[in-house]
Amino acid sequence: MRLKYLREQRGISQLKLAIDLNMNQNSISRYENGVREADYATLIRFADYFNVSLDYLLERTDNPNMAK
């Protein structure tokens, strides 16, 4: 998942992302490190927050706006 890449590209800390999405910072860290997998609702929240497609977020395409 491109979560860490997207977050770092925007200069957003894990804490800011967690606060903005009303989540726990530890959860963000676990998603970024592959320790935990996000459910569908959480994936959609990430994609909406970064304004990218789910396919881009999940590394199924290199085009951030392309949906399969």
* CA 28/CA 4 separation, integer angstroms: 9
- The amino acid at residue 35 is V
CB-based contact 2:8 (threshold 8 Å): no
- Identify the band that residue 1 occupies on the pLDDT scale cut at 50, 70 and 90: very high
CATH (domain of 8): 1.10.260.40
Domain that holds residue 35: 3-57
Q: What is the pTM of this model?
A: 0.91
Domain count, the chain: 1
* pLDDT score of 65: 85
Q: 34 vs 65, which has greater pLDDT? A: 34
Query: What pLDDT score does 67 carry?
Result: 55
9-60 pLDDT per residue, tens:
999 999 999 999 999 999 999 999 999 999 999 999 999 999 999 999 999 9
| Residue 43 covered by a domain | yes
